[in-house]
Chain A
Amino acid sequence: GENVEQHPSTLSVQEGDSAVIKCTYSDSASNYFPWYKQELGKRPQLIIDIRSNVGEKKDQRIAVTLNKTAKHFSLHITETQPEDSAVYFCAGNGANNLFFGTGTRLTVIP
């Protein structure tokens, strides 16, 4: 089945700096890659997703890039703010189900 690896597990950045989280996947048939944000004590919520026919997608300060050949995709957050502090999960849809990475705890230092 699909195996999604995510790095780093923790990331601290100064407010205003950029943050990058990287994921790799194993199933070449995967064609949908969402990113979820989970704030402390809350449920995961989708923040951006990308399909395999697109190399990059941007939504305000958030962007995701996908390299199908290398089987990796990344989340980029620019001009980070304290409210970006959360755990971020990447996922891939191998075998028609979402398989999640182990999460990245992002801390934005004011």
Chain B
Amino acid sequence: KAGVTQTPRYLIKTRGQQVTLSCSPISGHRSVSWYQQTPGQGLQFLFEYFSETQRNKGNFPGRFSGRQFSNSRSEMNVSTLELGDSALYLCASSLVKGEGEQYFGPGTRLTVT
């Protein structure tokens, strides 16, 4: 079974621009969660989608948004990029919402200059 994939793997943007990241979950997984990983801050929860609905949202500004399509693929968007948005963005998929193993993708390394 193919694992979780994320595109692009690397991205360089300038302040003020917007960016869209994509995540394809494992086939059959309907829950997709997004995390921001920065040194010293660990994995911070952004939001979680289940069956095309955002179920939960972490403590991030409204510049961070996402969506999920009927095939469970998910995208996250960051508008008006700031230098502090530079991070590794990881998505994870799971069969069951809220518990059970989450399978992580390789991440998208976003650098904002």
Contacts and interface: CB of A to CB of B under 8 A. Distances in A.
Given A43-B90, A43-B104, A96 B43 contact: no
A103 B101 contact: no
Interface stretch (B21-29, B34-42, B65-73): B34-42
Nearest to B3: A43
Given A43-B106, A49-B101, A97-B98, A102 B40 contact: yes
B74 interface: no
Given A31-B99, A89-B42, A103-B42, A97 B48 contact: yes
B55 interface: yes
Interface in A40-70: 43-46, 49, 51
A73 interface: no
Q: How large is the interface on A (under 10, 10 to 19, 20 to 34, 35 or more residues)?
A: 20 to 34
A98 B42 contact: no
A100 B45 contact: yes
A36 B44 CA distance: 14
A102 B101 contact: no
Interface of A: 1, 6, 31-32, 34, 36, 43-46, 49, 51, 89, 91, 93, 95-103
Interface of B: 33, 35, 40-45, 48, 55-56, 59, 90, 97-102, 104-107
Pairs of residues from A and B, 8 with the lowest C-beta to C-beta distance, nearest first: A96-B98, A32-B99, A102-B42, A100-B43, A43-B104, A103-B42, A97-B56, A46-B101
